[in-house]
């Protein structure tokens, strides 16, 4: 903490911003492995064969809205 006592206000603010960026990146990294996206990724393999796509009708350029 002796480093922060000799630092100017701008330097302390810069160190705080860097700490906030590093800590938020660490939280995002952890949430990738723990969060709902990881659970959805594991169950997505089972869900994909059950998905049915709706048939599309061909659209001509006259049918589109201007």
Sign of CA dihedral 44, 49, 54, 59: positive
Q: Does residue 56 lie within any of the structural domains?
A: no
Tally the domains of the chain. 1
Q: Does residue 61 lie within any of the structural domains?
A: no
Q: Does residue 21 lie within any of the structural domains?
A: yes
Query: Of the candidates 50, 31, 29, which has an alpha carbon nearest to the alpha carbon of residue 39?
Result: 31
Asked if residue 18 has pLDDT above 90, the reply is yes
Dump pLDDT digits (tens) for 24-39: 999 999 988 887 766 6
Q: Does residue 20 lie within any of the structural domains?
A: yes
pLDDT at 32: 82
Residue of 36 and 9 predicted with greater confidence: 9
Domain that holds residue 29: 2-40
pLDDT at 65: 60
Contact residues for 15 (Cβ-Cβ < 8 A; gap 6+):
4, 7
Q: Does residue 64 lie within any of the structural domains?
A: no
What is the spatial distance between Cα 1 and Cα 55, in angstroms, rounded to a whole number? 66
Polymer length in residues for the chain: 66
pLDDT at 14: 95
């Amino acid at each position: 903490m002796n480093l922060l006592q000799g630092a100017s206000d701008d330097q302390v603010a810069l160190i705080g911003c860097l700490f906030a960026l590093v800590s938020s990146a660490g939280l995002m990294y952890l949430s990738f492995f723990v969060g709902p996206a990881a659970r959805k990724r594991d169950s997505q393999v089972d869900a994909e064969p059950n998905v049915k796509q709706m048939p599309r009708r061909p659209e001509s350029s006259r049918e589109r809205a201007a």
